[in-house]
Structure 1
């Protein structure tokens, strides 16, 4: 693993260190691409937050390089998740679902260079920089769920909730009053004691929410991860793909998006969102967001990004109203 991805949270990375991290990711992606036979003379960074996304121009290939990770995310675990994403995207693309597919120019598998794990995707031209319509996108999520229902691959239950990450991060935040108020951390830990058993066990979930069907889901707010391509909207970023309730993919988007999803679900003969399950997954998502403060030394922008979420979370029912 790289030096910025260790257990000790330490000081915040400087802009210069973050730029150096991105440069190393680009160098690794270029080296990997050339090693796979691609022509790369003008690599361009398209995105740099949790991953560095690089267009390996002039080849029509985009490399996504994981960079901001918890300390326990070794190369084997990264590759496992990345392979699940590649498998799902390939399967959907083969059935005509509008997705950004893995690049056909390289093998559909993760590549690891200099301690970095990456995947390769088809380059797609973006139509514009206009603000996305998340309400309209939420309706498209019902279509995605319908397309994913019959996926034959094996997926683990609610891995997108990342229970180990939540537990580990809440422990790491114990001594970081600069990142979280002790009262908020105490509430988060008490909530997690109630929510954790339902997150970790499919059996416990099914006992808590009887009759709620589980299916393959995107795992990472697909309404936010719909790419506005020149030829139409494409589903993207399946790196958190998992087995779970459809509510997980709509959690935290608000009543307008929920209504848009329900309208499209009714039209397709699918079930509407269950309010109790939605409350549960929203509560889990809130804790996962708070836990991400443990990554703030690697990604300082998280401090300001998470502040509104904490304010919203303080006003919500404790642990989604589940009994201790």
Structure 2
């Protein structure tokens, strides 16, 4: 496990890399300010209206093959720029620099417009579900290149594999159960052809990919979508996993009213199972981010208490 001092040193290195990369792009930053520091260090290059996201805690596939991370970052930049150009409420890439990942001092970073955030807001979940339906409707027209269910294809199996060498983080019976569950559902989440064969009539489209109801920023001018780091092709159910029955009903009503299909119960169960496995797999990053062990513990406990997934 990294110590607090080592994490502070990593944060300082990320800030220095972001500042230097910004300077190379003509951005002046007299007083860089860290806005957030968990999986990424988010740096406001004050006084510029630019925020740099510097991922620091990475899944194994990104560490092993930096091109995989760059590809996903390019997808995120392309999708958010496309949404912004169509007037959809989104935190957009900064127009002051090229919309392209920048690699500096071992970090791959992206540059975004700075927006003022209104703190301590309590979102209306029904309204948030309507906004997700509207986002899905807009994303249906996006024709850029995206991988199929990019978060699941590598993140879960590689995380489970890494946990085999970290027995102090998860008991062996739990890890064996998680692997059996992934073996049962993984084939339809890693192959578009297999998914469409298993769930005929359930269409696949661009989706946010990472619990979008948690990823809106409230600003003085309204709410903006953010954090498209896991944007991917998939079924919309993946964006709605574990929101609860009332929120699903609100989504379905909004979706049907604008010509989208309602959620499919079988697909929802599979994507919720994958979401729980993603929490288990995330423990593999705990050596780089020790807070994960306590932060994820309640979700792992919920998974442990749920019936095992044995088949589609």
Tell me which interval the TM-score lies in, with the shorter structure as reference length.
over 0.9
8 Å Cα contact 1:75/1:115 also seen in 2 = no
Alignment of 1:1-324 (within 5 A): 12-73=1-62, 74-161=65-152, 163-319=153-309, 322-323=311-312
- Asked if the contact 1:44–1:57 (Cα under 8 Å) also holds between the matched residues in 2, the reply is yes
**Could you tell me how far apart the structure 1 residues matched to 2:178 and 2:136 are?**
31
Query: What is the TM-score normalised by the length of structure 2?
Result: 0.96
C-alpha contact (below 8 Å) 2:89/2:225 kept by paired residues: yes
CA deviation profile, 1:259-306 (whole Å, cap 9, x unmatched): 221121122121111110000001111111100100001011111122
Between 85-94 and 72-81, the greater mean CA deviation after superposition: 72-81
1:256 is displaced (CA, Å) by 2.6
CA RMSD of aligned residues (A): 1.4
Unaligned runs of 5+ in 1: 1-11
Partner secondary structure for residue 65 of structure 1: strand
Given that residues 251 and 281 in structure 1 are in contact (C-alpha distance below 8 angstroms), is that contact kept between their aligned partners in structure 2? Answer: yes
Q: Helix, strand or coil: the match of 2:212?
A: coil
For the 8 Å contact 1:75–1:116, the answer to whether it is kept is no
Structure 2: how far apart are the matches of 1:100 and 1:34?
Answer: 22
Distance 2:93 2:231 in 1: 15
Q: Which runs of 5+ in 2 are unaligned?
A: none
Report the count of equivalent residues.
Answer: 310
Q: Deviations over 1:62-106 (max 9, x none)?
A: 000011013431332221111100000010100110101100111
For normalisation by structure 1, the TM-score amounts to: 0.92
Deviation by residue 1:150-185 (Cα, 9 ceiling, x = unmatched): 001011111122x32322221221243321122211
CA distance in 2: counterparts of 1:154 and 1:134, whole angstroms: 31
CA distance in 2, matches of 1:33, 1:96: 27
Indicate the SS of the match to 1:318: coil
Q: CA deviation at 1:135?
A: 4.2
Cα distance in 1 between the residues matched to 2:24 and 2:194? 47
Q: Deviations over 1:88-130 (max 9, x none)?
A: 0010100110101100111111111101000000000012322
Q: C-alpha distance in 1, partners of 2:126/2:14?
A: 34
Secondary structure at the counterpart of residue 223 of structure 2 = strand
